Amino acid sequence: MEVEGSKARVNLSLATVAFALSFAVWSLLSPLAPQFQKQYGLSDTQTGVLLAVPILLGSLARIPMGIVTDRLGGRITFTALMLFSIIPVVAMGFVNSYGMMLFWGFWLGIAGSSFAVGVPFVSRWFPAGKQGTALGIYGIGNIGTALAAYSVPWIAASFGWPYAFWIFAPVLLVVALLFWIMAEDAPGAVRSSSISQSLEVVRRQRLSWVFGLFYFVTFGGFVVFSVFLPKLLVDWFGFSKVDAGFRTAGFVVLATMVRPLGGYLADRIGGARLLSWVFAAAPILALVLAYEALAPDIVGVTVACLGLAAALGTGNGAVFKLVAQYFPSNTGIVTGVVGAAGGIGGFFPPMVMGAVRDLTGSYAIGLMLLALFAAFCLVMDYLVLLRGPVPADRASE
C-alpha cells in the first residue's frame, strides 16, 4: 500500500506540474492584450474576442480529451497534448495581424483542455475519501495563469513580445518528455469501451449537466477575471501593464491556493453543502464589484476581487469532488463535459464585458450578470442535491 501511495503522490505531482504549464500557455494572450489593443487599434469588443478565442477551443476540446483519456489513459494523452501545444506557441511569435492572432490564439487554446486529462488521471490513483483533496491539489495547476501574468509582461518588455511565447516551447518539450518517462496510469483503471458508450453516460445522467452549470460559474468566473482583470485595471486605474499583471496574479494565486481547501472541505462536509456557501457569497461580492464599476475605488475593488477569488476557487475544488464521487467509471468524459461548460463560462463573458463597455461605458451590467448566474446556482444546488431526488452520498452509476 505504501508503494502505491508513493506512486500516487508522484503521479499527482507530475500531473500538477504539467497542468500548471499548460494553463500558463493557455493564458499567454491575456497579459499582452492592452499592448495588442493599442498596436492594432482594437475596440474593447475586438479585444474581448481575442481574449475569448483560446478559451473556446480549450473548452470544447475538453470533451474529446476526456473521452480519449478514458480510453487511452492520461500518460499518453497528456504527453501528446503538450507536444502539440508547441506548434501554436512558436507560431504566435510570428503573427503580424489581428486575423493571425485570432487564428493561432484559437489553437493556443488546446492547452486549456489539459484539465479534462488530469482529473481522471489523478482521481483513479486515490480512494473516494481522498479524491477531493487530491483533485484540489491538482487544481493548484491553475497557478499557471499567475505564472503567465507575472512573467509575460516582464519578458515582453525586456526581450520583445514574441519571446513571451517562444520561451515556453522548450519548457513544454522538456516537461512532456519527463511526463512520458516518469508518469504511469493507475493500475486497473476502468476504460470506456467506445465513444458512444461515453456519450451515452452524459446523455443518460443529467446530473453531469448540473455540475456543468456549477463549473460554468465557478471556473468560468475564475477564467474571466484571470484574462480580463489586467485590462479592467488599466481602464479603471490607469495601471501599467506590468502592475496590472502583478495584481491579477494575486487574484489567480488566491483562487488557486484555496482550491485544495475546497476539495478538502468537500471531503469532510460534502461538496453540495460547501457549494451552498460559495453560491451564497458570490452574488453579493459580484454586486459589490458592479457598484464599484460605477466609481472605482481601489480598496473596494481589491476586497471584492479577493473575496470572489476565494469563493470561486473553493467552488472549483468542490465541483470535481462531486464529479469523481458520482461518476467513478466515466470520470474522463464527465470531466470533459463539465470542464467544457466551465471553459464556455470563460469564453462568452470577455466578449460580453467588452461589448457592454463599448455600449455603456461601464462593466457594471456584466458583473451583475455574474451575480445572477451565481444566485441561480444556489437555487439549483438546493433543489437538486441538498433536498432533491439525488442522494448526496451515493454515486449515480
State yes or no: pLDDT of 277 exceeds 80.
yes
Helix (H, G, I), strand (E, B) or coil at 206: coil
Question: Containing domain of residue 41, as a range?
Answer: 2-183+194-386
Domain assignment present for residue 394? The answer is no
d(CA 12, CA 302): 33
For residue 256, tell me if it sits in a domain. Answer: yes
In a domain, 308, yes or no: yes
Is 188 contained in some domain? no
pLDDT value of position 197: 59
Distance CA 29, CA 235 (A): 17
pLDDT of 191 over the 70 cut? no
How many domains would you assign to the chain?
Answer: 1
Of 64-73, 273-282, 348-357, the poorest mean pLDDT is in 348-357
Contact between 33 and 152 under an 8 Å Cβ cutoff? The reply is no
Q: Is the pLDDT of residue 190 over 80?
A: no
C-alpha cell of residue 236: 479603471
DSSP label at 330?
Answer: S
pLDDT value for 260: 82
**397 part of a folded domain:** no
Residue 392: pLDDT band (50, 70, 90) is very low
For residue 192, the 8-state DSSP code is -
Instruction: Dump strand ranges (E) for 274-321.
Output: none
Where does the pLDDT of residue 376 fall: very low under 50, low under 70, confident under 90, or very high at 90 and above? very high
pLDDT higher than threshold 90 for residue 41? no
| Residue-level pLDDT at 3 | 41
Residue 200, pLDDT above cutoff 80? no
With respect to residue 396, please indicate whether it lies within any of the assigned structural domains.
Answer: no
pLDDT of residue 1: 36
* Residue-averaged pLDDT of the chain: 82
143 lies in some domain: yes
Of 380 and 366, the structure prediction assigns the larger pLDDT to 380
Residue scoring higher pLDDT (200 or 264): 264
| 3-state SS, one letter per residue, for 106-146 | HHHHHHHHHHHHHHHHHHCCCCHHHHHHHHHHHHHHHHHHH
CATH of the domain at 264: 1.20.1250.20
Are 334 and 201 within 8 A, CB to CB? yes
Cα 325 to Cα 271: distance, rounded to the nearest angstrom: 10
Give yes or no for a contact between 316 and 139, defined as CB atoms under 8 angstroms apart: yes
Q: Give the pLDDT confidence score for residue 198 in this predicted structure.
A: 57
Q: Would you say residue 393 lies in a domain?
A: no
Residue 65 has pLDDT above 80, yes or no: yes
Three cell numbers, residue 139: 487544481
pLDDT digits (tens, 9 = 90+) for 8-39: 889 999 999 999 999 899 888 878 887 888 88
Residue 395's pLDDT is what? Answer: 40
Q: What is the pLDDT of residue 393?
A: 40
User: 97-122, pLDDT tens digit by residue?
Assistant: 888 988 998 898 889 888 888 888 99
